[in-house]
A and B are shown apart, each in its own frame.
Chain A
Amino acid sequence: MGLLQIKDLRTYFFTSRGKVRAVDGVDLSLYEREVLAVVGETGCGKSTLGLSIIRLVPYPGRIVGGEIFFKGKDLLKMDESELREIRGKEIAMIFQNPSKALNPVYKVGYQIAEMPRYHLGVPMKRAWGLAVDLLRKVKIPDPEVKASSYPHSLSGGMKQRSLIAMMISLKPSLLIADEPTTALDVTVQAQIMDLLKEIREEVGMAVMLITHNIGLVAEESDRVAVMYAGKIVEVGATPDVLEDPLHPYTRGLLSSLPSRRSRKERLPSIPGSVPDLINLPSGCRFHPRCPYKLDICDKEEPKLSEVKRGHLVSCFAVG
């Protein structure tokens, strides 16, 4: 039994232009203590998937169907008070832009201390002490001083560290990390990823790492799910998917990465661009860009099915 089981999840945005099917029938499981990477390009629905799990889809979006079982209970059937017990305590989330996630008018220590105060009823003085300990744990220099400072005086890397401190304060069993290092410099990114690894092992939490960076997927994840236009097109153990990609989209994506051998040569590239999520192509959503298109591909939608052990693909041309 997995920690998290998503079944036929659908999250749509009802805009004036029409219905944006950001997540459109996603099936996905996440096991305890594993790192699952969700990789895809802009607008593939990967962030909406993360927000759907903690039920924070912004207006005009709405979860219109499916089930999300977390430790056996359907998150989609919970009311707001039950969800509050889950968010932060059981499932935590960090975002791409740490500045937006911190309140600019409260001290960093105060914002971290809110977690044990709110969820566990710890008195302020002790909660502040916990906040300082957490800042030390995420390797912020002078944690006592930094706890009393406001977010604007911290660098991007330090802000992301503070948010990680906040998110791990209650030892959640799942951390959803949505592009946690995209806004950071590469040397800072490396340090944040190392920190996350260390903390994950200590706390024993699972991580859903939402990213577009294939390098991060390769280095950080146990399994990877590839998303395209609101659907998961391939999922499997990370080395299997990266070394033997089966879906034409995954293949195209991986072969378009510059490598040492590709120097100064034209890169293979996927023709066209990502489809509009309001007017999706019929059948398989990738068919207009697919070099292996069959007759059936624009008529029927392929299902995600197991091709090799633990390696699932949704493509008529495979298997």
Chain B
Amino acid sequence: MDLLRLDDLRKYFPVGGGILRKPSFLRAVDGINLSVTRGETLGLVGESGSGKSTLALTALKLYEPTSGRIIFDGVDVTGMKESEFKKFRKKLGIVFQDPYSSLNPRSRVKDIIARPMKVHGYGDEEIDRIVKEVIVEVGLSIEHLERFPHQLSGGQQQRVAIARAIVTKPDLIFLDEPTSSLDISVQSQILNLLLDLQQNYRMTYVFITHDLLTVRHISDRIAVMYAGKIMELATTEEIFYETMHPYTATLLLSLPVPDVESRVQKDVLIKKGVKVYGEPPNLINPPKGCRFHPRCPFSIDLCEREEPELKGIGSHLVACHRAGEIDVRL
């Protein structure tokens, strides 16, 4: 059974507007259907403004969804009151991109880590024991518990944020660009930590990033988002090596790669007609039809008129009128 299911989830933000003027809407998340299976890591890839962070915050009910349904562990939690939803919160965690701004600068590390347990009514002794266990588990030591966030490096701060996210032993953690603000040598340490924790606790991850190399490393499946929609959803292998959506191919072509082998593969994409041009659209007035059509070298009349549905054979889903007809594989 799916641990989390999102049905046609939407989150619109009002922009402008006033007493006499109706606001326009920024459609950050615009009709997302997505399931997360227990134990997997689902990568959510997209450029800035694609709605990937809003999707996470809406799925966690930190934003009230505009419409659609959120089904967690078989229970529809969409309209649930916060008091009732609290017991589900315990099962959910989130880690943000910038560890420093996500940690209270006036709290000591031990209080930061203890906070979710206090909220969920753990006893003092239990809290004390778990805090000491968890700090070691994330690769820090007991001494770090007395420190304040500013006394830690970026990597150490992110370890504290991860510790806080796992103390209530959640089933599902949203990781919103957890390594993007870190240096390369620290990134690999944090990725290793996340893999270890997942194995030890059988946690499910939704890993949000714009970095394709990281997402390929950590994910079982990947959803590619563009302008508030999912463009392609498949296993990691399929996304990278059986690519079907032109936008995914554009991302692969844009990605600077360190190794010669991958660079040679890029020439294949260019020969197949994949091109990079234009910029992500404005989400207040997104393009009609397929949102990617103004930047798509394979666009036809139909793409300008009709919005393609996310559909496919088996597990490989793609939202493109020309899927199957065009070849954009590496």
Contact = CB atoms under 8 A, between A and B. Distances in A.
Nearest to A271: B189
Interface in B237-256: 240, 250-251, 253-256
A269 interface: yes
Contacts of B24: none
A145 B256 CA distance: 32
B251 A257 contact: no
Interface in A267-284: 267-270, 273-274
Contact of A269 (B185, B214, B279): B185
Interface stretch (A59-67, A210-218, A307-315): A210-218
A184 B259 CA distance: 22
Given A218-B256, A266-B192, A187 B183 contact: no
A120 interface: no
A257 B186 contact: no
Interface stretch (A89-97, A124-132, A188-196): A188-196
A185 to B, nearest CB: 4
Contact of A215 (B188, B191, B256): B256
Which of B48, B185, B263 counts the most chain A CB atoms within 10 A? B185
Interface in A218-251: 218-220, 239, 242-243
A273 B184 contact: no
A263 interface: yes
Contact of A268 (B153, B154, B186, B188): B188
B41 to A, nearest CB: 8
Interface string A40-52: 0110000000000
Contact of A263 (B210, B212, B217, B256): B217
Contacts of B196: 266
Contact of B188 (A155, A243, A256): A256
A194 B256 CA distance: 12
B254 A190 contact: yes
A187 B192 contact: no
A253 interface: yes
B195 interface: yes
B183 A264 contact: no
Contact of A267 (B188, B210, B263): B188
A157 interface: yes
B210 A185 contact: yes
Nearest to A270: B185
A186 B218 contact: no
A42 B276 CA distance: 30
A252 interface: yes
Contact of A41 (B156, B184, B250, B254): B184
A102 to B, nearest CB: 18
B183 A258 contact: no
A190 B276 contact: yes
A258 B256 contact: no
A79 B227 CA distance: 51
Interface string B169-194: 00000000000000111111101100
Contacts of B214: 258
A254 B258 contact: yes
B192 A257 contact: no
Given A189-B254, A218-B258, A273 B153 contact: yes
B213 interface: yes
A294 to B, nearest CB: 21
A258 to B, nearest CB: 3
Nearest to B189: A269
Interface in A168-208: 185-191, 193-194
A267 B153 contact: no
A100 B210 CA distance: 23
Interface of B: 47-48, 153-156, 183-189, 191-192, 195-196, 210, 212-214, 216-218, 236, 240, 250-251, 253-260, 262-263, 276-277, 279-280, 295
Given A186-B47, A190-B253, A260-B262, 6 more contacts: A187-B279, A190-B254, A218-B263, A264-B195, A264-B217, A267-B188
6 contacts: A190-B255, A215-B213, A218-B259, A257-B213, A258-B216, A267-B192
Interface of A: 41-42, 155, 157-158, 185-191, 193-194, 212-220, 239, 242-243, 252-254, 256-260, 262-270, 273-274
Counting from the closest, the 4 A-B pairs by CB-CB distance are: A215-B256, A258-B217, A190-B254, A256-B188
